[in-house]
Amino acid sequence: MFAPLETPSAEQITDPQATLGRALFWDARTSANGRIACASCHDPGDWSADRRRQSTDAKGKLTARHSQPIFNAMMQTSLRWTGDRASGSAQAEGSMTGSMGYADKAAALAKLKALGYEPAFRAAFADQAEALSAANYGRALQAYQRTLVTPAPFDRYLRGQDDALSPLQKRGLRTFVAAGCAGCHSGALLGGQQFQKFGLAKDYWSETGSERVDEGRFLTTGAADDKYVFRVAMLRNVAKTAPYFHDGSVATLDGAVRVMASVQLGRTLPDDDVAAIVAFLESLTGDVPAHYAAPAQ
């Protein structure tokens, strides 16, 4: 049902593509207005998510949805709240004309060239004639993000260290499984692998108080079955990534657990079960990786 995280090797972290990806990720000069880096909305203080309900992009506009954590995210089968990006490289490439604010990819590439990034692209993609390309921008950012893995007490527990979880956390784990949460939130990330309707037992907005009803995957596929369908969120570091859900509509983890029980399972959990589940979810908090920071110049 669950699996421990596999941590990256030292070679993966110092690989030239990952090193280039790290430089790009933290460099605000690479956006259209010169003020927004990937890290602006994926804050280390927020475990690579954003405490703001919506973030401001390089056009000065608010993002349509809440910023997600990127730690461990590359292991998911598709990316973003509705799984409309197939991979980390596709997601990053899309950012050029999205959050990073460019009219087209050519403009983004011209900026990278002007900033002197060409030699670093040539070093990272030595076998390619055209090293400075949108595809390689995506590949480098994906390589860096693959190294951002955060093992936690729960992994030590899964590997056999019984006292890695407190008695309350173990109770929370049993409750999480028995209540049916693990039917959707399973695997190494406790999520990230399936699409499900948000609001199986009742409309999600009746419990989240969402100001706007987001139709989820339906907006990209147009299929009636995809109305209000979202990717099951992964729960790694979830205690550190408030506010919750695709619109950041719920401020606390306790509140998010109650909403899930109500709208996905059609039940009200007793307070002590909610507290135990929250304690268990806290065992999924790992350390912010040391290389989740701007590289030394």
Residues binding ligand HEC (CB under 6 A): 36, 38, 40-42, 55, 57, 63-65, 67-68, 70, 73, 76, 79-81, 88, 91-92, 95, 99-100, 141, 145, 179-181, 183-185, 196, 198, 200, 230, 232-233, 235, 238, 241, 244-246, 256-257, 260-261, 264-265, 277
- The Cα–Cα gap between 71 and 51 comes to 15
CB of 290 to ligand HEC, least distance (A): 19
Q: For the CA atoms of 254, 257, 258, 263, what is the dihedral angle to 10 degrees? A: 160
CB of 258 to ligand HEC, least distance (A): 8
CB of 126 to ligand HEC, least distance (A): 23
Q: Which is nearer to ligand HEC, 171 or 185 (CB)?
A: 185
CB of 116 to ligand HEC, least distance (A): 18
- The Cα–Cα gap between 216 and 264 comes to 16
CB of 246 to ligand HEC, least distance (A): 4
| Cβ 195 vs Cβ 232: under 8 Å | yes
Cis preceding-peptide flag for 243 (omega within 30 of 0): yes
What Å distances lie between residue 32 and 49, 61, 90, 111, 194, CA to CA? Answer: 22, 13, 19, 8, 34
- The Cα–Cα gap between 267 and 276 comes to 16
Q: Which residue has the tokens 């908090």?
A: 285
CB of 222 to ligand HEC, least distance (A): 17
Please state, as a whole number, how many other Cβ atoms lie within 10 Å of the Cβ of residue 149.
21
Q: Which is nearer to ligand HEC, 63 or 129 (CB)?
A: 63
| Cβ 268 vs Cβ 262: under 8 Å | yes
